[in-house]
């Protein structure tokens, strides 16, 4: 009888040890994080700079835009789950949107086409047992321009203000605005247009979407 009790106790101890050794493994098992795909929520505000090169120079009598470059940086989002590391404007839309506008020496009164933006960044969120973490594939945003006007900032520099919207099914869907300024006052700008003209035009400002 004593021998039987010792065998039974040994079985219980072995079973207990096996259960203890299995518990940490089960507790340590985690579902592999998913990568987010879709429209980025919330809003975003970025710095934007544009440079348009002309040949021949842009003057009151004409000019031809040959190259447009756009740089977007320092993006800040309203949603803590979203981080934007880089953004860019599709080349074809940047050329059409910024090379011909009301800011030109010969103003273009028609609205520019949509400004198409692409985003790169990360998304972090835990939903129940599902975790999103790491690089995200964000939907692009098409900034549909509804108004454009020539403006001046607090320093008196001549610039351009664009307002419009982004579809709710796209990243940062909602209202959209962009303000870009030269380093010339209206008088200085007009004098250059009437004189030797602009071989290149630089503008800088902000873009806000959502």
Same domain as 126, residue 95: yes
Same domain as 2, residue 47: no
Same domain as 89, residue 19: no
Instruction: Fill in the DSSP letter of residue 62.
Output: B
Chain centroid to Cα 109, Å, comes to 28
**pLDDT tens-digit readout, 111-152:** 888 999 999 999 999 877 778 888 999 999 999 999 999 999
Same domain as 101, residue 5: no
Residue 52: domain span? 37-209
For residue 151, what are the β-bridge partners? 159
| Number of domains forming the structure of the chain | 2
**pLDDT tens-digit readout, 44-89:** 999 999 999 999 999 999 899 888 999 999 999 999 999 999 999 9
Distance CA(183)–CA(196), nearest Å, equals: 17
Looking at residue 30, what is its pLDDT? Answer: 60
Looking at residue 101, what is its pLDDT? Answer: 85
pTM: 0.80
Which helix or strand (DSSP H or E) is residue 110 part of? none
In sequence order, the 6+-apart residues with CB closer than 8 A to the CB of 49 are 70, 71, 73, 202, 203, 204, 205
Q: What are phi and psi of 79, to 5 degrees?
A: -100, 120
Same domain as 202, residue 113: yes
């Amino acid at each position: 009888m004593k021998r039987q009790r010792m065998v039974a106790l040994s079985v219980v101890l072995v079973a207990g040890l096996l259960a203890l050794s299995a518990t940490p493994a089960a507790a340590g098992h985690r579902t592999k994080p998913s990568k987010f795909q879709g429209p980025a929520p919330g809003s975003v505000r970025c710095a934007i700079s544009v440079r348009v090169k002309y040949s021949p120079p842009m003057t009151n009598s004409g000019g031809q835009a040959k190259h447009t470059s756009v740089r977007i940086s320092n993006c800040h989002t309203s949603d803590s789950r979203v981080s934007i590391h880089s953004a860019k404007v599709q080349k074809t839309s940047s050329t059409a949107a910024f090379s011909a506008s009301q800011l030109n020496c010969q103003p273009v009164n028609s609205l520019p086409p949509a400004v198409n933006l692409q985003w790169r960044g990360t998304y972090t969120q835990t939903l129940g047992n599902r975790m999103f973490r790491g690089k995200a594939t964000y939907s692009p945003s098409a900034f549909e321009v509804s108004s454009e006007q020539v403006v001046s900032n607090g320093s008196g520099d001549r610039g351009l203000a664009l307002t419009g919207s982004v579809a709710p099914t796209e990243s940062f869907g909602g209202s959209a605005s962009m303000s870009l300024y030269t380093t010339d006052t209206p008088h200085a700008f007009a004098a250059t247009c009437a004189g030797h003209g602009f071989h290149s035009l630089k503008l800088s400002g902000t873009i806000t979407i959502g």
